[in-house]
Amino acid sequence: MTDVSSAPSRRFGPSAMLSWAVTIACNVVLPFVTYNQLTGAGWSDFSALVASGVWPVVDVVIYLIWHRRVDEFAVLTLIFLVLTIAVTGVGPHSARLLLVKDSLITGLFGVVCLISLATPRPLMFYLGRKFGTDGSANAVAHWNGLWRHESFRRTMTLITMVWGLGYVVEAIARVGLSYALSTGAMVAVNSVLAYGVPALLIAWTITHSKRARAKGHAEATAPAAEAAATAV
């Protein structure tokens, strides 16, 4: 039985490294730098967010030209950036509400993960394809083909569920703490949660994926081992 262990190995060649560099630059680094530079120059939060939203669009265009298909990660980043702009631009702009705003965005991501469990393929299947392959046609086709294996489907479903529940719980905790702590204390807590929660989820995902691959490999080789033992 073929399983998760047959997932394509990551290729860290020049093409893959360049693709990753463009993705990280356009979806993380450049929006962050643009936002901070513009707000430091006197722009409003709303205007700075709108301007920084150009970079994920650039990433989508570059990926489309390069690979002849849309990059799901860049599209997801763009969607949540639009939601952030909408939340920032609507309603009163108190410091506490701006802190709660972050909870709404991360909580919505968790809800999207959970809703995707009812779709043909959960959200983490697409994000896994983004970060688990080099983006080439062969690697993408191989990744897509793994969906026919039950163990792979089970792994993608569980990872999506854990991420969804993790971010929903994180959002609820953020909202509660935003009203229980002072603004200064909550700013510090927000920074910890912004990096701590994804770090924990990524660490768990890597550990679980390794265990799933090891278990799948053992299941795949068991019939051959039994046949060899019987022949002896």
Name the token pair of 214. Answer: 């090891």
Q: What is the largest CA-CA distance in the chain?
A: 79
**In contact, 121 and 132? CB cutoff 8 Å:** no
| Among 31-35, 78-82, 146-150, the least confident range | 78-82
Q: What is the pTM of this model?
A: 0.65
Q: What percent of the chain has pLDDT over 70?
A: 67
Name the amino acid, one letter, at 98. Answer: L
Q: What percent of the chain has pLDDT over 90?
A: 20
Name the token pair of 138. Answer: 């062969």
> So where are the chain's domains?
10-90, 94-232
94: alpha, beta or left, given left = phi > 0 and alpha = psi -120 to 50?
A: beta
Rounded Cα distance between 99 and 62, Å, is 33
Region 159-180 average pLDDT = 92
Count the alpha carbons within 13 Å of 130 in the hemisphere toward its beta carbon.
20
Q: Please determine, for residue 173, whether its predicted confidence score (pLDDT) is greater than 70.
A: yes
Region 29-49 average pLDDT = 82
Q: Please determine, for residue 124, whether its predicted confidence score (pLDDT) is greater than 80.
A: yes
Q: Please determine, for residue 171, whether its predicted confidence score (pLDDT) is greater than 60.
A: yes
pLDDT tens column, 57-110 = 787 778 777 766 666 666 666 666 676 666 666 655 566 666 677 677 788 889
According to the model, what pLDDT value does residue 15 have?
A: 64
Region 225-230 average pLDDT = 54
150 vs 217: which has the higher pLDDT: 150
Q: Please determine, for residue 150, whether its predicted confidence score (pLDDT) is greater than 50.
A: yes
17 vs 127: which has the higher pLDDT: 127
pLDDT band at 56 (very low <50, low <70, confident <90, very high): confident
Rounded Cα distance between 125 and 131, Å, is 10
